[in-house]
Amino acid sequence: MERLTPDAWFLASPARVLGCVAWLLGWLALEARWYRRTRTPWSGRHVALSLQTTAIVGTAQVALSLALAPLLWLAWPRRLWTLSMDSWWHWALAWTVVDFAYYWIHRALHATRLGWALHAPHHSSLQVTMLDSLRMSWGEQPVGVLVYGIPLVLLGVPPYVAALFYGFVSLYQFIVHTEMGWSLGALDGIVYTPAAHRSHHSCERTEADANYGGFFVVFDRLFGTFTPTRPNDRPAVYGLPDRRASDLADVAFGELRRVAAALRSTPGLVAKLRFALTRP
Which pLDDT score is estimated for 125? 92
Task: Give the residue numbers spanning the domain of 167.
Answer: 6-277
Distance CA 214, CA 131 (A): 18
Nearest to 132 by CA among 1, 239, 233: 239
- The mean pLDDT of the chain is 87
| 3-state percent helix, strand, coil for the chain, nearest multiple of 5 | 65, 0, 35
Rounded to two decimals, the pTM is: 0.87
133 found inside a domain: yes
Which pLDDT score is estimated for 2? 46
Confidence of residue 12 (pLDDT cuts 50, 70, 90): low
25 found inside a domain: yes
Distance CA 182, CA 160 (A): 31
28 found inside a domain: yes
The tally of domains found in the chain comes to: 1
267 found inside a domain: yes
Residue type, 27: W
SS3 state of residue 148: helix
Which pLDDT score is estimated for 152? 85
Select the more confidently predicted residue: 9 or 230. Answer: 230
Q: Could you tell me if 224 and 90 are in contact, meaning their C-beta atoms sit under 8 angstroms apart? A: no
1 found inside a domain: no
